[in-house]
Amino acid sequence: MSGTAGIDGGNATYGKKPFKRSRSHFTDRVTADGRDGWPVEPGRYRLVVSKACPWASRALVSRRLLGLEGALSLAVADPIQDHRSWRFTLDPDDRDPVLGIRYLHEAYDARETDYPGGVSVPAVVEVPSGKLVTNDFQQITLDLATEWTALHREGAPDLYPPALREEIDEVAEDVYRDVNNGVYRCGFAHEQKTYEDACRTLFARLDALSERLANRRYLVGDQITEADIRLFTTLVRFDAVYHGHFKCNVRKIAEDPVLWAYVRDLYQTPGFGDTVDFDHIKRHYYQVHTGINPTGIVPLGPDLSGWLTPHHREQFGGRPFGEGTPPGPPPAAERVPAAGRP
């Protein structure tokens, strides 16, 4: 399979050449002052995600932690997309009930016909016009944290504190290059050396992160930040899909005591695990990537019960939500079905 990989934030090109992720084409921002023509307004925009996609999952976690469910509505695409892009076959009549479209490409086409790129999630769509606003997966969560503050819930955490931004950016860049994107460089490698180089780089970075987290609860400061969200969405998928499907099998995350405790700590934190659907994750990767898994068989494992076991990370102190409070339970319509959770 060549072209664009549907699960990716931005566009992912792969084939005989080494895997390369291109920049998002639509980089407009929804801001408090509307400087790009898209002002923050409750109900004006709809966040389109796939629960299979790690890049979209960042936005899901941020939206939950910040309490934006009532201001930014959510559309969840079927984890199995076809050649026409992400589809809304989970909804009645196979249409998104708010946007009225069957495929996400319709929102892209409403913005720009025949644009140079694939149809990716996360995507922010303007409801009145039906036009895509942005698919800039790197910027969307930062803007939710800093531009949507007037609509945050009472007690929302500061996920991108000004005093920590330089360090957050530095850590997040390493995580993006070697871990978030690194698993894809392993999975879509077409030459042995390319794969081995990517795999060694991935596990060297995981080793460094394990060392960093050995005596601290979170990546930066003493609370959850954007950096933790970005690492979590890859770690939570690692043993279920990346270890086997992408050949990232030097070891499992569950075999690293520090990273396994860290990701369980986050999974058990309100706003994280309650957005994760392991059923969507597994079915997407194993059934869509036919170039890697031509049979489309979805494995039964791994056993998910370990996600709810004690992690003992409280010993390092820290305040998960800083000066804020945990979010309430997710809206009933957004709860992960039993098939997707431990």
What residues act catalytically?
53, 184
Residue 170 structure tokens? 């530095």
Contact (CB, 8 A) for 267 and 276? yes
Q: 92 with 100: CB under 8 angstroms?
A: no
Cα(301)–Cα(254) distance, integer angstroms: 13
Q: In the chain, how many H helices and how many E strands?
A: 9, 7
DSSP 153: P
What residues are paired with 31 via a beta bridge?
39
Query: Is the separation of the CB atoms in 321 and 157 below 8 Å?
Result: yes
**What CA–CA distance (Å, rounded) separates 283 from 101?**
23
For residue 65, the Cα-to-chain-centroid distance in whole angstroms is: 14
Residue 179 structure tokens: 């871990």
Contact 3, 13 (CB under 8 A): yes
The two structure tokens encoding residue 237 = 């998928």
Q: Which residues contact residue 46 at a Cβ distance below 8 angstroms, ignoring those fewer than 6 apart? A: 72, 73, 74, 75, 96, 98, 99, 124, 125, 126, 127
